Structure 1
């Protein structure tokens, strides 16, 4: 294969010590990435396992390329860079969508397109690997997106809203006991409100999706339809087919029913037919949407718990007996650190830069808190 052999000697620039060091680093990273994919494959079965093992084989071909280039200069094996080693550690300990999201980021960092000693095939492989891992990670993201959305929103709302509440009340000049009571009240009220809101929101969404799912009982009415009127055609037309196409398909379905008294399995697979008209592709899509949105109770409990945990952090300094500016600074520092962590996790799981998301969360949270703190100072001065 073109990516499994070294570049032809006449086209290869003269090697330099810096080149050898770089190739050895590439070799170490390729070995570490292949090991990561094999570790992930051990936690999976079926097609996902086969895909991950194929990715490991591809990294093995890249490894061989650098081995051929290095020749006798390979030396003792190096360890992969810190990010690649951490990825391998997570793969061995956890697996799951979090590791796949990290692997997606790792594939996106490939520099083979700018490396004169890497083949175009290797650069293309790395780019396609990112899409393969993205597709694998998307399955996990879809399975967790409903509960994860409620958890992230709940934690951030708790952090930001209660920090803003505590700072605003504290800046007005009231006593620390009042600030503490206000913070606890904000925690309980917000957590209950978030939990109830998520339950209603997700439950309503699921009910809408369920209402759009075809009723499988309708298939029992097909043998009794008027062949001349063929109401089945209306189902296909409602699905978006042209009138002639819908009529032709419905005629074929009912003709098959009349001839055999049942639907052959190959008919069910080759075209929508009767069961597809009433419970096929649309039903599968609806099931996927229901899975993506999660359960109402799961979203509500997640939202309640994460809002409460987030809202508790700004109150902690007051619970520990701190007062005044000291309590405000400690609360702000704790919330800032928490915002950075939640933003980074969101960035990692979404396959984007964790630093960008972390700083965005921090800016939004502190921006809201600064506004309420300024208003607290203003109203406190006015009252005084």
Structure 2
């Protein structure tokens, strides 16, 4: 492919040694990205596999462009960028939604818009690739959105609430054993509350869905209804059918019922059952309990291992800070947002809540003294 200037860049000048080094880096990155897509395709099948292989082929075309400019394979090819190597490592071992989310961000940082030796087609390809990867990542996000939401919010609730609790209690100057007891009590109370609340919520939703399911209560009455004036059409209209279609459907059902008996399959309009989407009440309850407890145990760990005072508080802040940054970064990855920014946001919220309770603990501790 011949080098033509990008619409957003100036015409290429005579290439320099720095240009050739930059081309070699582009070549290494394109090869690494193509390997990532092939690794991901190896773990998938059907349409997703075909899309990923097509992306790898497109990266191969870009690779060829830089090979042509370099006049063939360089004697020494530089290592791909750190992000490309990280993507490749994750794709070989996980092949998960996180890799696609990272790949989406990588495609968004393409340098070809300002690279004078990249073609306009290459710059356009990278923009389209981002949307293709975003679409693939969106499928995975939808598949795990419910479970992931419960895990992140449950763990974060445990982290923030129990950190705030032990910081507030500790600031009053009580004995370390009392801080430990308060943390364990907060863990159990919060986890049990989360589990019970989730059970009631999911159970209530399932009962509400059960109440919306069609029944065969009126099937036996079909043969006795007036063929020209009957309320069966109203049943179909309540389930979303337009009036003319409901009238026709009711007439067909009544005519069939007089010859073959009531048919519970053709009678009511089947509604989509959402029970599988809602999930099990017991399963949701246990998951919420465990997610909350897994977060709430972290701020208490220093006191469990016998630390006290400033050392316990410092270690608790460090452990919770790492956990908040991690969960925030995962939220950012899955939402296609910068992971560091999301991690820092989680950190600020958690530490802000802890600071408020700590100050209140100091105030009450001084007042009590």
Q: By the TM > 0.5 criterion, same fold?
A: yes
Flag the 1:189–1:275 CA change in 2: closer, same or farther, 3 A: same
Alpha-carbon spacing, 1:88–1:375, altered in 2? closer, same or farther (3 Å): same
Matched, 1:155 2:155: yes
Q: TM-score, normalised by structure 2?
A: 0.84
8 Å Cα contact 1:150/1:300 also seen in 2 = no
1:322 matches 2:313: no
Shift of 1:42: 1.1
**C-alpha distance after superposition, 1:159-207 (max 9, x if no partner):** 1111111111111111111111111111111111112222323343444
- Relative to structure 2, which stretch is displaced further, 341-350 or 68-77? 68-77
- 8 Å CA contact 2:202–2:281 kept in 1: the answer is yes
Asked if 1:278 corresponds to 2:269, the answer is: yes
1:360 and 2:345 correspond: yes
Would you tell me which structure has more helix in proportion to its own residues?
A: 1
Q: How much does 1:347 deviate?
A: 1.1
Report what 2:132 is aligned to.
Answer: 132
1:191 maps to 191
* 321-330 vs 118-127, greater mean Cα deviation: 118-127
Contact kept? 1:316, 1:331, Cα under 8 Å: yes
TM-score of the aligned structures, taking structure 1 as reference length: 0.81
Mapping of 1:139-288 within 5 angstroms? 139-209=139-209, 215=214, 228=228, 234=234, 238=238, 246-247=243-244, 251=248, 278-279=269-270, 283=272, 287=274
Q: Separation in 2 of the partners of 1:275 and 1:93? A: 50
Q: Is the 8 A contact 2:34 2:55 kept in 1?
A: yes
Query: What's the CA shift for 1:12?
Result: 4.2
1:76 is displaced (CA, Å) by: 2.9
1:311 to 296, 303, 310: 296
Q: Does the Cα contact within 8 Å between 1:147 and 1:294 map onto a contact in 2?
A: no
Name the CA distance, whole Å, in 2 between partners of 1:22 and 1:232: 74
Secondary structure in 2 matching 1:23: helix
Shift of 1:102: 1.7
8 A Cα contact 2:233 2:249, kept in partner: no
Structure 2 match to 1:301: 286
Q: Deviations over 1:307-360 (max 9, x none)?
A: 112111111111111111221122112111211111112211222111011100
Change (3 A) 1:56 1:165: same
For 1:168 and 1:318, locate their aligned partners in 2 and report how far apart those are by CA, in whole Å.
14
**C-alpha offsets along residues 52-101 of structure 1, whole Å, 9 cap, x if unaligned?**
11111111122222222222474433332111111111111111222222
Superposed, 1:325-344 pairs within 5 Å as: 325-344=310-329
Contact 1:155 1:308 in 2 (8 A): yes
Which residues of structure 1 form unaligned runs of 5+?
260-273
Deviates more, 1:127-136 or 1:230-239: 230-239
- Structure 2 CA distance, aligned partners of 1:379 and 1:84? 53
Cα distance change of structure 1 residues 174 and 38 upon mapping to structure 2, 3 Å threshold: same
